[in-house]
Structure 1
Amino acid sequence: MYKHVALLVRREGLSHDEYRERWLGGHTPIARDIEGVVRYHTVVPTDPEAAEFDGIAELYFESLEELHDALGSPGSRDYDPTKEVAAKARADVDNFLAVAERPRFIGEEVVQTDETGNATGYGDTDGLYKHSAFLVRKSGMSHEEFRDYWEAQHTPLARDIEGVVRYHTVYPTDPEASEFDGVAELYFESLDDLHDALGSPGSRDYDPTREVAAKARADVDNFLAVAERPRFIGRETVQKDVTDSGGG
């Protein structure tokens, strides 16, 4: 499954609460109907004061062609869609978002582990707490070297982090046009489980005390520029789902 991930930054002059009301009440009904979208998630920060983004919006498409057809350029910030609803959604974001400060990521999602009870479906994530890490490779590594290490060495550790009930990796479809080398998404049943495993709710680094989580944190220094890696903790809502089955 291919998805467009937008890391949202509210427009200057809006409070987080004003932005959230505008996003979920006014914009979300438009975004649900963007051409080609088969699934749509919103992720609201659990602690807005500790988050460097005001939310995450994820639009899923069956193919990369449908994604680009709806949302235009694969660039990492703005886009210029030509489809009717997509163009309406793009115009609307100027009402509540600082578009130039809003990174976006286009990638292919792979489900690495799932203990939510329905390995073929995506509705399991509704209401779960999500830790999204936007990965930046360590200086001196190529994207290919980073990806090889991430897949072969780190992902097996991350699958076993205490409390994780679902784990996705998202690979950029065009690494040269992407600000990030990948996204790692860890899902937990409760916010307490997430904080118990991953420690501080801060937006960059963390200091876990659980055994596997601590081992995974130590390992990221082998392939990530941690200080350049935003992370986001939020609660996910599935706003739309017309998929017959899940998968990567």
Structure 2
Amino acid sequence: MLRLTFMLRRKPSMSREDMQRYWLEEHAALVAGHSRTLGMLRYVQVHTTDDEHEKLPGRRGKMEEPYDGVVEVWWESKAAMIEAVSSDDGRLVDRLLREDEEKFIDLKHSVAWFNYEYPQVNPTPENVVATERSSLLKLYFPLRQLDALTMEEAQWYWRTHHGPVIRRQAHGSGILRYQQVHRDEDQLTEALNVSRGCEVEPYLGHAEVWMDRSSMGNPTPENKLASRRAYEDEAKFIDFARSTMFLAKEHVIIDRR
């Protein structure tokens, strides 16, 4: 299954609250109305919260500013996505969406990429969602690799070494669900960013973690040890200064899986 991640920054003239309101109350209906034309299986808006995100990095030091939200879209396959968006109707819908995006998104400072998921801690069914009314939060961690590593080397280490580190201590960390989402399909990614006028370098991918707010910052010995182990292993492949981290709530607009 192919997935799109589109990290959004709001227009400078808008507050985060106003941007998220327009996105959810106006733009979501436009996407939903044309979702079958674009072949979408699932469409989710991830809205950054008003939590004190500057405290999240901890020992990771100074990181990039959090984004204001994330568009998430799933297709059955790469072929299904290409067939849908390259049709005459698909191209027309894409232009309509782009015109509306310009009303609330600072496209130049936003960035999108296509990717594939690698579940690490995953309940069955996959029904852990950080809805607005629940106490759950989704931690978003878009990351870039150290300069000494290629994309392939960093993703391999992330998947085969870091994944097991987090899985072994998930319970002590309060993790309910954890996925690695690795960037891929670079030609499609480049074409999408060019079409949207995005000038930000795409990330290596992102980690996403679901947890209950009550478990965050819980200074138990297990939590402290898990946090230290995670950081020590992250430092082997992540360039923290070119990565970011923020908390969010999910709005599931379409789910046809």
Compute the TM-score of the two structures, normalised by the length of structure 1.
0.80
Q: How does 1:34-113 map to 2 (within 5 A)?
A: 34=35, 35-47=38-50, 50=53, 52-70=66-84, 82-113=90-121
1:192 equivalent to 2:214? Answer yes
Is this contact kept in 2: 1:39–1:241, CA < 8 A? Answer: yes
Q: Which runs of 5 or more structure 1 residues have no equivalent in the other structure? A: 73-80, 198-207, 244-248
Deviates more, 1:173-182 or 1:99-108: 173-182
Give the count of matched residue pairs.
220
Is this contact kept in 1: 2:180–2:208, CA < 8 A? Answer: yes
Is this contact kept in 1: 2:114–2:186, CA < 8 A? Answer: no
Give the counterpart letter for 2:141 in structure 1.
A
> Following the alignment from structure 1 to structure 2, what is the Cα–Cα distance between the partners of residues 158 and 39?
27
> Following the alignment from structure 2 to structure 1, what is the Cα–Cα distance between the partners of residues 213 and 82?
35
User: Does the C-alpha gap of structure 1 residues 105 and 194 become closer, same or farther in structure 2, counting only changes over 3 Å?
Assistant: farther
Bigger Cα Rg: 2
Structure 1 residue 193 displacement after superposition: 2.1
SS at match of 2:128: helix
1:237 equivalent to 2:240? Answer no
What's the % identity of the aligned pairs? 23
User: Please, what is the CA RMSD of the aligned residues?
Assistant: 2.4
Structure 1 residue 101 displacement after superposition: 0.8
SS at match of 1:147: helix
Is this contact kept in 2: 1:130–1:186, CA < 8 A? Answer: yes
Counterpart selection for 1:125 from 120, 124, 129? 129
1:179 equivalent to 2:183? Answer no
1:168 equivalent to 2:172? Answer no
Q: Would you tell me which structure has more helix in proportion to its own residues? A: 2
Find the counterpart in structure 2 of residue 224 from structure 1.
238
